[in-house]
Amino acid sequence: MTTKTGPQRYPGASRANWYQDDYPGDPMQVNVVVLHTTEGRTLPTYGGGSMAPNLTAVPDFAAKKLKWFQHFDIETSARALANKRGGVETNTLNVTQIELVGTCDPKSHKKWVAAGQEHIFWPDAPEWALRSVARFLAWMHEEHGVALAGPKSWPAYPTSYGTAGGQRLSFTEWADFRGVCGHMHVPENDHGDPGAIDFATLVKYAKAELDVDDEDNTPPKPPSTPKPPQGTHKPPHSTPKPPQSPPKPAVPAYPGRKYFKDGVVSENVLKLGKQLVKRGFGDHYKVGPSRTWGEADRLNVRDFQKSRPELRGDADGYPGPLTWRLLFS
């Protein structure tokens, strides 16, 4: 049986519309996020949960933020994709599904604008909405290792419907895919959402949340100083170089959850314990940190998690990538 790993609830998400008790789903280990649009302006009923995703993001225009509703655990199969029996696995393989309330259809957008009905047209979403989605993708990257990458082609609706845009993945491509894609990319499905959402900006914002450089992490080269023409003399002293910003403190790479289980002996446990003491969260140690993970370590990590608003929703005492980064940064 597949074992879930990492936090299963997105911090701050409401469980007012929780469907997992009625539709238990299958446990899975997630490495893909699929983005949908609801093609409506309010939180859908999803047939009482029979067609629900893992989470829905509802715009709060007054506050300029998205309100998140969680319907299933992150690593429990949701029900918003077509999943034909005997075909390629979609709902139940490795996917967390996200519905974004709003539309990708220019016709719906035009109609709602004419009627004065507030909504998000996701191909032209406001910055605050894109940043909220990016924040979720950054959390999925930190806590579940979902790559901040995806297909290059995000055609506009209705070209994205069916296979007209050429963006839909084959069964083999789907089985090999890791990262973030749209409903429009999933095989055995014909829907074209989320259309021409600005995926490049979503990735850019998500990496900014994580303080991760884009592309190859190579800093840009400084502009070269032009050489003086032949026959001229160099100035007696060179132009002073502009001051460089100090390097950011190095955060050790997250070693993985396998080291933080009862009885595991590792240098990573000792490194974590020393950092907890350094940050003032070593109250549960009697003689100090050791190389063996135990209850004192868990309680100290839990105290640290409770001190950070980013972690309070999942203060279980077991360090994931986000806990690790915040503790050492």
CATH number at residue 88: 3.40.80.10
pLDDT above 70 coverage of the chain, percent? 87
Within a domain: 73 = yes
Cα dihedral: 227, 230, 231, 236 (round 10): 10
48 lies in the same domain as 147: yes
Helix (H, G, I), strand (E, B) or coil at 274: helix
Report the alpha-carbon distance of residue 169 to residue 210 in Å, rounded: 29
More confident residue, 55 or 220: 55
Within a domain: 179 = yes
Within a domain: 158 = yes
Average pLDDT of span 93-120: 97
324 lies in the same domain as 206: no
More confident residue, 179 or 241: 179
50 lies in the same domain as 195: yes
206 lies in the same domain as 288: no
86 lies in the same domain as 179: yes
206 lies in the same domain as 264: no
Asked if 192 contacts 104 with a C-beta cutoff of 8 angstroms, the reply is: yes
pLDDT at 312: 67
Within a domain: 75 = yes
Within a domain: 252 = no
Cα dihedral: 38, 78, 145, 2 (round 10): -170
Q: In what order do the strands lie in the sheet with 95-100?
A: 65-70, 55-60, 95-100, 32-37, 179-182
The predicted-structure confidence for 39-66, as pLDDT tens digits, reads as follows: 999 999 999 999 999 999 999 999 999 9
CATH (domain of 273): 1.10.101
Within a domain: 9 = no
Q: pLDDT confidence of 221, banded at 50, 70, 90?
A: very low
Total tally of structural domains belonging to the chain: 2
211: left (phi over 0), alpha (psi -120 to 50) or beta: left
57 lies in the same domain as 197: yes
> Which of 210, 245, 279 corresponds to the end of one domain?
210
Report the alpha-carbon distance of residue 297 to residue 293 in Å, rounded: 6
CA angle 94, 127, 206 (to 5 degrees): 40
The predicted-structure confidence for 156-198, as pLDDT tens digits, reads as follows: 999 999 999 999 999 999 999 999 999 999 999 999 999 999 9
Within a domain: 265 = yes
Within a domain: 242 = no
Tokens of 160: 């994205």
Which residue range is the domain that position 107 belongs to?
A: 32-210
The structure's pTM equals 0.69
Tokens of 13: 């998400």
123 lies in the same domain as 193: yes
322 lies in the same domain as 188: no
The predicted-structure confidence for 126-154, as pLDDT tens digits, reads as follows: 999 999 999 999 999 988 889 999 999 99
Q: pLDDT confidence of 311, banded at 50, 70, 90?
A: confident
Kind and range of the H or E run holding 68: strand 65-70
Report the alpha-carbon distance of residue 236 to residue 234 in Å, rounded: 6
